[in-house]
Amino acid sequence: MATVISTLHGREVLDSRGTPTLEVEIELSDGSLGRAMVPSGASKGEHEALELRDADPKRFLGKGVLQAVRNVNENISKALLQKSFSDLKSLDDCLIEIDGTEQKKKLGANTILGVSLAFAHALARSQKRDLYLIFNELMGLRESNLSMPTPLMNILNGGVHANNGLEIQEFMIVPHGFSTFSDALRAGTEVFMHLKAKLHDQAYSTAVGDEGGFAPSLESNEMALELICEAIEKSGYQLGTQISLALDVASSSFFNRETEQYDFRWKQMRHLSGEVLIEFYKHLKAKYPLVSIEDGLDENDWGTWKKLTHELGPSTQLVGDDLFVTQKKYVERGIKEKVANAILIKVNQVGTLSETMDTMNLGSKHHYRSVVSHRSGETEDVTIAHLAVGSGCGQIKTGSLSRGERTAKYNELLRIEEKAFRRGRPIRFENAFRA
């Protein structure tokens, strides 16, 4: 079905950090409207596609996106208006061609992504189908591949998402041993509540960081895991069989390029080699039900990554975020060199939905799992909830159980699950870490 774009409009709105971001609206000739907003990271991978910002210090400390807005309303509008597109891929290809650079430096990946996302929403409206079904079809999958994802919930924040000194950026709970998404969500939320009470009782701060997790100044990274395990036990859930743990170390943020060491600064300065970090992860695995480690090593430290994968890969999900930046060429290298075994999927690291889905398909062909992910700077946009269900990838990382921009995705997943059940076509919950 060919689709003609009749209106295209970009505007500057705010994200969850109060930083400007792009919102795009597309109207098709049949009146279907699609609207979407673009997320933004803080611990960005070096090789991510370009996020275009105005750099005008008089507006939003240089973080405005008026140039991206102009790119949508002028250049892109000129090229797309009244044109007909048979599917999302043909629109994305056209955007890639207009930009013409590998990292989307001319128009900005945020600009291009805004249009790609809005068009996907408009298509779903036009076809009167749920967005996840559009993704399912575009990935060449069947409805039997749909699944509700296991959530990876970042309930304790450190790294650049907090100012508590902990090096590890995300301490996540993974409620996987449940039969529905809503049960998994409830369990995670109860743990979050118990953790809050525990922190409060021990006179730690219960203020939250960028992704809605608590950000207390704990004595050590390990103490974070200890407290989380206690909160899980207090909630009455079984550690390991029902709820496991995951980390996003985001180690590029404390990797010292000159010395090639990992600098742990909290409480006491320690310079660690990649090999010592691997031993640290093994130690954590022996003590806690740790099922997934993201960016355990620096994005350019491929040699040590290979060692990590060899030693921990068989027993642990090793996720490449900054390492792969959702781009096929880095995943191809990973496959070739046997590095990591899962890909973090962030739509704005690559800049179009079609390329995102290609990366996921490449991964699954080579048994690399995909984890669909938000960014630390988010909006109320819920596209990623649909991408997780439609792709059937089995996992979503969308923050903690507080802050509207995080719960927006969880709530959309609840709607998807409940509606499918009501229609008599339930979508199965994927236990991504069956014990």
Query: Which spans of this chain sit near ligand PGA (rule: CB under 6 A)?
Result: 41-44, 248, 250, 321, 373, 375-376
Instruction: Tell me the residue number closest to ligand PGA, measured at CB.
Output: 41
CA-only gyration radius of the chain, Å: 21
Return the number of the residue (172 or 199) whose C-beta is nearest ligand PGA. Answer: 172
**211 given a catalytic annotation:** yes
3 state SS of 33? strand
Smallest distance from ligand PGA to CB 295, Å: 7
Smallest distance from Zn ion to CB 294, Å: 5
Smallest distance from Zn ion to CB 135, Å: 22
Q: Which does 188 bind (CB under 5 to 8 A by kind): Zn ion, ligand PGA, none?
A: none
DSSP H or E run through 12 = strand 3-14
Residue 29: C-alpha distances to residues 10, 33, 125 (Å): 18, 9, 12
How far apart CA 229 and CA 404 sit, in angstroms, is: 26
Smallest distance from Zn ion to CB 321, Å: 3
Smallest distance from ligand PGA to CB 13, Å: 18
Return the number of the residue (235 or 376) whose C-beta is nearest ligand PGA. Answer: 376
How far apart CA 134 and CA 160 sit, in angstroms, is: 35
How far apart CA 340 and CA 223 sit, in angstroms, is: 27
Closest by alpha carbon to 280, among 270, 268, 272? 272
Nearest 10 degrees: Cα torsion 29, 35, 36, 37: 120
Angle at 77 between CA 71 and CA 81, to 5 degrees: 170
Q: Which does 356 bind (CB under 5 to 8 A by kind): ligand PGA, Zn ion, none?
A: none
Q: Which does 41 bind (CB under 5 to 8 A by kind): Zn ion, ligand PGA, none?
A: ligand PGA
How far apart CA 44 and CA 46 sit, in angstroms, is: 6
Q: Which does 44 bind (CB under 5 to 8 A by kind): Zn ion, ligand PGA, none?
A: ligand PGA
Smallest distance from ligand PGA to CB 100, Å: 26
**234 given a catalytic annotation:** no
Return the number of the residue (72 or 152) whose C-beta is nearest ligand PGA. Answer: 152
Q: Of 63, 196, 346, 397, which one is the catalytic site residue?
A: 346
DSSP H or E run through 390 = helix 383-391
Return the number of the residue (91 or 250) whose C-beta is nearest Zn ion. Answer: 250
Return the number of the residue (53 or 375) whose C-beta is nearest ligand PGA. Answer: 375
Q: Which does 301 bind (CB under 5 to 8 A by kind): Zn ion, ligand PGA, none?
A: none
Smallest distance from Zn ion to CB 237, Å: 25
Chain CA centroid to CA 405, Å: 13
Return the number of the residue (123 or 371) whose C-beta is nearest Zn ion. Answer: 371
Phi-psi label, residue 355: left if phi above 0, alpha if psi -120 to 50, beta otherwise: alpha
Return the number of the residue (292 or 354) whose C-beta is nearest ligand PGA. Answer: 292
Instruction: Tell me the residue number closest to Zn ion, measured at CB.
Output: 321
Q: Which residues bind Zn ion (CB under 5 A)?
A: 248, 250, 294, 321
Q: Of 25, 48, 51, 211, which one is the catalytic site residue?
A: 211
Q: Which does 42 bind (CB under 5 to 8 A by kind): ligand PGA, Zn ion, none?
A: ligand PGA
How far apart CA 156 and CA 315 sit, in angstroms, is: 24
Cβ-in-10-Å burial (0-12, 13-18, 19+) of 331 comes to buried
Residue type, position 308, single letter: L
Angle at 111 between CA 62 and CA 92, to 5 degrees: 165
| Residue numbers annotated as active site | 211, 346
